[in-house]
Chain A
Amino acid sequence: MKKLLANPLVLIGAFIIISILLLALIAPLIAPYDPEAIDVKAILLAPSSMHWMGTDGLGRDVFSRMLYGARISLMVGFVAVGIATAIGIFLGAIAGYYRGWVDTVIMRSVDVMLSIPTFFLILAVIAFLTPSIWNIMIVIGLTSWMGVTRLVRAEFLSLRNREFVLAAQTLGAKDARLIFTHLLPNSLTPIIVSSILGIASAVLVESGLSFLGLGVQAPQASWGNILTDGKEYIQFAWWLSLFPGLAILITVLGYNLLGDGLRDAFNPRSSQL
């Protein structure tokens, strides 16, 4: 823990993530305008004291939309990664614990999934479903569990024959007890690190999908679709591209810093003590 706090990257990352989470949480309290309130008399106003980040093509306040967009972007990140991690732990645990043909089947399907470019797979699936925030979270989750599966399996393989596991088994512990109380708790660290890094990429995927018009649908705001709106006016209304672009950049950076820092801190090989 001491080492964690001594690492400035983790602190910066954590600070960024916590601030954005807080901003998203209290968005209704601090947003100066209704994010969906249209004002055709205030179209594309530059940032000012009235509208801190200007207004968009329908006169909506960009700052308010950014705050509400943060909720969407973060929620997509958490839920999608939650789904991916749950699937990953389940499959990885089975593969690593039972080995044999179960392992072969699961790991080959991981290979198959990894051989398909994820973003295009998501694009194809979304094109057949109604694009909505829930579908997006589910689809991102269902297409990004492979890393966690490999990770959990590798941990299980290395823990499977350790003395404490063999001891528990000798004492008559059932498979479920071994998996959930002995093996899993000891593999949590890499899972947490990979989940945090996974959130960063889920935020990016959501922004990408919304940018392509397949993500969060109008009039709901997400950073990706604010960015798309900005594309039309980039020569004239820079604020529509700059702020969501920066927000995505900073958030993803925050998660990456935090994830990298945690990994370094928890990695016994990097230990100086």
Chain B
Amino acid sequence: MTFQDSLCKLLSAFLLCFVIAGCSDSTSSSTVNQKDFNKIYPPANGGTMIDAMTGEPSGLIAMIAGESAASAIASNIFNSLLKYDRNLDLTGELAESWEISKDKKTITFHLKPGLKWADNQSLTSEDVLFTWQKVTDENTRTPYGSDFKLVVKAETPDPSTFKVTYDAPYAPALDTWAGLHILPKHLLKDQDINTTAFSRKPVGSHYYQLVSWKNGQYLKLTRNPNATQGQARIDSLLSRIIPDKAAQFLELSADNIDSMGLNPIQYARIFPARPELNKNIALYKELGNNYTYLGFNLKRKPFDDIRVRQAINYAIDKQEIIDGVLLGLGEPVASPYKPGTRWSNPALKSYPYDPAKAKALLKDAGFIDSNGDGILEKDGKPFAFEILTNQNKEREMTGVLIQRRLREIGIDANIRVLEWASFLGRFIKPKEFDVVVLGWSLSLDPDQYSIWHSSQQAPGQFNFISYSNPRVDKLLEAGRLELDPDKRMKIYHEFSKILLEDSPIVYLSAGYGLSAIHKRVQGISNPAPPAGIGYNTYEWYIPKVYARHEINEQ
């Protein structure tokens, strides 16, 4: 390498750095509109809302496509029998009502009268039966079949009645029917559902229908005149495909999209620093249905000792993790359910940060610093272990914060960050770990049999921490059989209480889902109800004065 070479490289590297550093300032100038968007107008029909998604759906039959991009679009096009309301209680969507038989094995759904598909054909219980047959068909490539295969008999006594019978009472059943999009039999009966062109030209019954789909660019939906749930207010929805979150943010700043999901940095740091964005864009936060935890391998010593687990729980400052990792955009959790929902036991509080209590518990369990090196020992062995996590920046930072707190009470913890596939294959499945930092995403049904029941410990099953408590097993079994929501709630409250005491995992935090929506879109519930801001998108509206004059579909 000559000197000129070196100099050239040096200079170009400098230039690159400045270009990158300069990027953050170059976007503010492109805000097009100086309109004041802060005035609230009465609800009106019309307008187009543009949002962005990182991935393109592979098709719009959600049970086949499987990815979140597909279900996000498809849930505007297709109905289910049931849905969750703003408080996350089940209510009818296509079904007007439903009954559960005395033996709790049969559910009878009564469809609303006069239901129609977007192509004017009637929607009947035959369509529901057809969808059930498809989702349980061996030839259908869907991951969602197992719940529906528990149905031993499905019948349609008349066009508005659909009846399913289970082998044994199965409480999560209703939840599964809220997640199944009903498909039109008349268009799909002679088609291979895995490959049908229907998935790119769907005909549904919900608020919107697909009018155009430009590969790699956008999907456009307009109102369905036959919508079974009444008419939505916004005329059309345009979903642009923008794979890069940073590029989405630039488009949001330039008023080319109306909404996107944000990360904590964008929400808590970039927005407050850019007043011109706040003028036009409203921020929303809502609790997501997931939480981060530290889980112990209960098969390994000393984590089989409840005092050790509780001590570690007391030693971790959860608020510090929420402040440091989530920039304050999260909440502590004390049960494996979303705080504020009926399944979450409001009486439970997470373990406070109390290092003195932690030390006392460890001393009780036989851990003493006998050689004065600051690390506790038992039977001559120092208390040291490895915290495993996958390559996820937030979990890694969480691990660093925990490591420091544990060091303070005399525990020597190392962090090891692994790529996801080897993390699962080499450590989780064979249970070769001490402690993990991971997260659980939850369904809306409270059944967590697969995570906590002692029978679910085989390699590859979800109870990989090997938790086993006969009382919890009993409650989980009872919860699956109990169809009365209030009785079920009591069961799961009790279950959460035992779980918190046992401390097989340390609940760390539940992060908020963060989103930015342009203020031209009105009628959004803020603060978000338990179901999240998206529960009533059909009531959102764009006042005429705020509507875009032309839509840039590029």
Contacts and interface: CB of A to CB of B under 8 A. Distances in A.
Contact of A218 (B10, B17, B400, B419): B400
The 10 tightest CB contacts between A and B, nearest first, are A40-B324, A238-B21, A40-B323, A219-B400, A213-B391, A218-B400, A242-B17, A218-B415, A213-B417, A249-B13
A257 B399 contact: no
Contacts of B249: 235
B1 interface: yes
Interface of A: 8-9, 36, 38, 40-41, 43-44, 57-59, 127, 130-131, 213, 217-219, 229, 232-236, 238, 241-242, 245-246, 249, 253, 256-257, 260
A8 B4 CA distance: 13
Interface in B1-23: 1-3, 6, 9-10, 13, 17, 20-21, 23
Contacts of A9: 3, 6
Nearest to A219: B400
Interface in B393-411: 393, 396-397, 399-401, 403-404
A233 B265 contact: yes
Given A43-B327, A58-B400, A238 B269 contact: no
Q: How large is the interface on B (under 10, 10 to 19, 20 to 34, 35 or more residues)?
A: 35 or more
9 contacts: A9-B3, A57-B397, A58-B400, A213-B391, A236-B265, A236-B270, A238-B21, A253-B6, A260-B1
A58 B396 CA distance: 11
Interface in B372-404: 391, 393, 396-397, 399-401, 403-404
B24 interface: yes
A235 B246 contact: yes
Nearest to B24: A235
B349 interface: no
Contacts of A59: 324
Given A43-B324, A236-B270, A57 B393 contact: yes
Contacts of A217: 414-417
Contacts of A57: 393, 397
A137 B399 CA distance: 25
B374 to A, nearest CB: 15
Given A238-B21, A249-B13, A260-B1, A219 B246 contact: no
B482 interface: no
A245 B17 contact: yes
B320 interface: yes
A249 B265 contact: no
Given A38-B404, A249-B13, A256-B1, A218 B324 contact: no
B326 to A, nearest CB: 10
Contacts of A43: 324, 327
Contact of B20 (A130, A229, A238, A249): A238
Given A44-B269, A236-B24, A253-B6, A218 B1 contact: no
A229 B396 CA distance: 10
A43 B391 CA distance: 21
A102 B439 CA distance: 56
B443 to A, nearest CB: 29
Contacts of A58: 324, 397, 400-401
Nearest to A231: B393
Given A59-B324, A238-B17, A246-B13, 5 more contacts: A36-B404, A40-B324, A218-B415, A238-B21, A245-B13
A249 B414 CA distance: 30
Contacts of B3: 8-9, 257
B17 to A, nearest CB: 5
Contacts of A233: 265
A234 B400 CA distance: 21
B422 interface: yes
Nearest to B422: A127
Contacts of A245: 13, 17
B345 to A, nearest CB: 29
B400 A38 contact: yes
**Which residue among B265, B270, B320 has the maximum number of chain A CB atoms within 10 Å of its CB?**
B265
A235 B23 contact: yes
Nearest to A256: B1
**Which residue among B320, B397, B401, B419 has the maximum number of chain A CB atoms within 10 Å of its CB?**
B397
A131 B386 CA distance: 13
Contacts of A246: 13, 17
A218 B269 contact: no
Contacts of A36: 404
A219 B415 contact: yes
A241 B400 contact: no
Contacts of A256: 1, 6
A11 to B, nearest CB: 12
A238 B24 contact: yes
A44 B265 contact: yes
A8 B396 CA distance: 45
A217 B393 CA distance: 13
Contact of B324 (A38, A127, A253): A38
Contacts of B393: 57, 229, 232
A256 B10 CA distance: 13
A253 B3 CA distance: 10
Interface string B199-221: 00000000000000000000000
A242 B401 CA distance: 25
Contacts of B23: 235
B10 A131 contact: no
A63 B323 CA distance: 23
A219 B21 contact: no
B246 to A, nearest CB: 6
A127 B270 CA distance: 36
A40 to B, nearest CB: 4
A23 B399 CA distance: 29
Interface string B12-38: 010001001101100000000000000
Contacts of B6: 9, 253, 256-257
